[in-house]
Structure 1
Amino acid sequence: MRLLPDTAHPGQWLAQEAGVQWLFGLHWAPLLGRDLARLARRRARALGATHYTWSGQSQASAGCARLRRKGPRHRHAAALAAMRAAGVPSAAMLLQAGEAGCWLAAWHAGAVVAQTDRVYGSVPQARLALEALQVRYPAMPVYGNVDLDGIVPFDWAQLQAGREQAGALRPVHGAARRAAWIAGACTAAGCAAWLGWGGAQRQEPALAADQAQAAWEAALDASVASVHWHTPADLEPVLQSLRQLPAAVTGWTLNEALCLAQGPGWLCQASYARGTLGRNRHLADVLPPGWQLRVDLLDGAQLSWRQDGAAKPLRWRTLAGAQEIEIDLATRLQSVMRLFTRVQVHAWQALPVEAPRDAAGQMLRRPDALPVPGRRAILLEGPLHAYALLEDLALSASWQRLHLRLASPSGAGLASHRAQVSLQGMLYEMH
């Protein structure tokens, strides 16, 4: 199969075989909801796409493309055909494509993974992308025709065989044209009488477009009303409170500390185990101002405190775009990954929003031009001193959980290189 770049739409590649046009490089994004066909079409309209398809059930994703409206009758997404032909719910596909380079696609639980279905300039480039993918999905098998340990043999002929089971790409405006045709046919046939209204029932005017837009924006405001956004400066006070933990207390061993975000601030607790020489008075004497001590009378103790913060409510209208997250932020993270033991950024998911309703209780259609805010989980894990880099990373997020533990608990003080900290939260972005 010979892949040719779609010069009108960078990133997309086309191949023609036996009257079928194959598409590579679709924009895939997760779908949340039940009516997948409607959700996929809405997603395509929001992106300005001309064609779309979708995959999955409980987990699903929509694939969108921009194509010339006049073209071959049969157009198929290569990623869907590969998934059907492989016959497994989760896998990665790595196929050499001659001079074009190497194509990488992946699917998980039946849904094509976002940021895959891409053609790379060489096999080594594609393998680097595959390695990054395997960090997120370590047990995912790999199919293809490249030289790779453990790869399941798979070729282009097998992919083409998957076309018989894969859903073809659909035009975005095809459904609207069919609806208009049906409406015209109903009018000609006396549709009002058939519906039993007899033409006497007056229809309520449709909600004005600007009112629907305002209603949906208010719904988005409500969906993020409880979300707080932390800049590196907002996170520093709680990190500093961890550095102040009493760790060199005679007869006491610091086990762990946990901080949970609550509004703009944090609620924190640290647990201690008592040794033979430990006395409750020893801990009480080193308690930082404003902190509380609770003892298990003879065997253990907990310190608790509330750390004030300056996190601000999330404003979805000012969120970064996908390019800023996937390229700019990801590049900054890649530059410091060696200093952390673990860095994970999960796939983007659209923000769940309860659709507004009109006066009759009917759900309002989402405006096509309304951006799609979403989020992706992020996890950092590494030595306490590595978190001083957050300022340089310009990494802002809705942080939710901060957990400190000691790699080798002792009474030698809270040395930064022994204190391992995991930080979990959500990145928000606009698609």
Structure 2
Amino acid sequence: MYGPEFAADPGRVYSYLRRWGPLAPVELAPGVPATLVVGYDAALQVLRDPATFVKDAREWQKGVPADCPVLPMMMYRPNCRNTDGEVHARLRAAVTDSLARIDLNALRGHVERTADTLISGFRGRGAADLVTEYARALPLMVFNELFGCPPDIGDRLVEGMSGIFDTVDAKKANQVLRQAVRDLVALKRREPGADMTSWLMAHPVRLTDEEVMHQVVTLQGAGTEPEQNLIANGLRLLLSDDRFAGDLSGGSLPVEDALDEVLWTDPPLANFAITYPVRDVDFAGVLLPRNQPVVISLAGANTDPSLASDQRVGNRAHLAWSAGPHICPAQGQARLIATVAIEQLLDALPDMELAVPADRLVWRPGPFHRALTGLPVSFPAVSVPEGALVPSAGTAGAVDGRESTGPAVPVAPLVRATARATHVAASDAPRGPWNSLVKWWHGE
């Protein structure tokens, strides 16, 4: 599950694995065996049985070398994804309560402005790569603002997060990520604000700094890399599938329908929700060894031929957000960001087309994600109005007033007006990992 062949056509692999039934033996990396659940009912059974299938990976880790490429994605961390029982409930409460303080209307406005700023950087060229210039940049800009993350730390978060998802030099990437988050938490201890990091610190469950770090890593990981893939995969579908493409300038854009389809067939995290049996388990005729990873193929289970219906539009019974006690707590925010990002782009460039045939698009290798390397498009060039905010090396601070040669994009507060929360002033400059974004804009 780690080579380019799997990345190019995972559906073929899932079909092959179904010869073994709803569960099949796989390798996540060379010498890293696991069981992949490709059956929908079997996946639900595993996800809804936390007493048998736990999230704590520490026993498994004892036999794994430190340089294992999938270890940073699978290792135990004291976060709400990798814990069970009362510990999980405590950490989950801090996360869900902090997420609830995000004002969704303000978030929508922030995504719209961020999208417009990014689009202004390429709309005058008549061509763009929507992965590097849009889908990758937008979630990073939004989430770094949500977490109160300054540019220097944001750069390192980008480097570390991308590295562990791609499983390339993952040990180094994990070290970079850990130090970046440590620096962010230390900053917020000194200078708390109206942001997710500060809210986690102030929560009544009294998280330690180490626990705050790991919740931030989990939320940033779930909110940037997968969000980028959801946006890019949704755009690919809208631009390439006759059911959705049509005349995108015709008025009613089927963005929500396209996202439903993507979440069923190409979920941004294709294989994850990893668990470890607490004992040897005979499951559907397959012996699952104690402490050996059982990985849910969210994509494989969603496309299980045994499902009674293939109706996906408006159907939210997919497993893209997982299920059971560890179901994604931020799915509403994630879907909102993707929907608004796609709508803003299609509104701005309604005549946009893929610049290459869809079957020539390249997918990034890796056992866990479903991620395009690029999404080249062409469109009639649109002149940028004088004075518009155009991201470039010379105006990197177009969304960071401290470095800008021009005005910054105003940011609406992203928090609810409560007695406990102080709104971010609309004149405050948002933050983002600008060194990395400048490189992406220039194709480096």
Task: Using structure 1 for the length normalisation, give the TM-score.
Answer: 0.22
User: Which protein has the bigger strand share?
Assistant: 1
Bigger helix share: 2
Q: Which has the higher contact order (CA 8 A, sep 6+)?
A: 2
